[in-house]
């Protein structure tokens, strides 16, 4: 895909997240503090059929993007409050329900063991999670 290759020249992580969105592995993603041509990125993402929201702060941009279904889940999650909001946001970002539940409980102070980060996408995994290992395999496959 020519468009994804253009994105890869700007930001490798962005290109991976876009690929995962297009394959519906991770339907919503966010890049914080992007220092590049955000309007160019927006046009490319929209051309690929993804929805995009950009929030500019000085010369940096936060870029939220995803499939239509994923962005609908994201909007719905943001209408909630507290632990349920955190849990639903995790699901919208494509994290397994067990990890989303654990992270929401950790943020609310109900769990003490800090979740580990799953790289390359830095998602927090719950202790002993098997679903995240399957996601990692998919992430790595698409990262090649």
Structure confidence by residue, pLDDT tens digits, 120-138 = 677 888 988 888 888 888 8
Tens of pLDDT, residues 22-43: 999 889 999 999 988 999 999 9
Q: CA nearest 42: which of 78, 6, 96? A: 6
Q: Residue 117 contacts by C-beta under 8 Å, 6 or more apart in sequence? A: 123, 124, 125
Per-residue pLDDT at 139: 81
Q: From the centroid of its chain, how far is CA 1?
A: 21
Share of the chain above pLDDT 90, in %: 61
Per-residue pLDDT at 74: 96
Element (H, E) at 117: strand 116-118
C-alpha span between 97 and 120 (Å, rounded): 19
Distances (CA, A) of 5 to 15, 23, 62, 97: 7, 16, 21, 32
Per-residue pLDDT at 107: 92
Q: CA nearest 91: which of 100, 102, 103? A: 100
Q: CA nearest 131: which of 106, 98, 100? A: 98
Distances (CA, A) of 135 to 93, 111, 131, 141: 12, 23, 7, 10
Per-residue pLDDT at 123: 80
Asked whether the beta carbons of 102 and 126 are under 8 A apart, the reply is: yes
């Amino acid at each position: 895909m020519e468009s994804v290759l253009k994105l890869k020249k700007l930001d490798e992580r962005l290109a991976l997240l876009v690929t995962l969105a297009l394959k519906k592995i991770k339907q919503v993603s966010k890049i914080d503090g992007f220092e590049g041509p955000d309007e160019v990125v927006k046009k490319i993402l929209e051309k690929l059929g993804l929805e995009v929201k950009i929030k500019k702060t000085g010369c940096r941009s936060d870029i939220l993007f995803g499939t239509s279904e994923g962005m609908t889940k994201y909007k719905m999650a943001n209408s909630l409050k507290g632990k349920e909001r955190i849990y639903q946001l995790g699901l919208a970002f494509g994290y397994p329900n067990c990890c989303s539940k654990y992270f929401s409980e950790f943020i609310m102070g109900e769990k003490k063991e800090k979740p580990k980060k799953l790289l390359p996408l830095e998602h927090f995994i719950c202790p002993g999670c098997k679903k995240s290992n399957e996601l990692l395999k998919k992430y790595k496959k698409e990262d090649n």
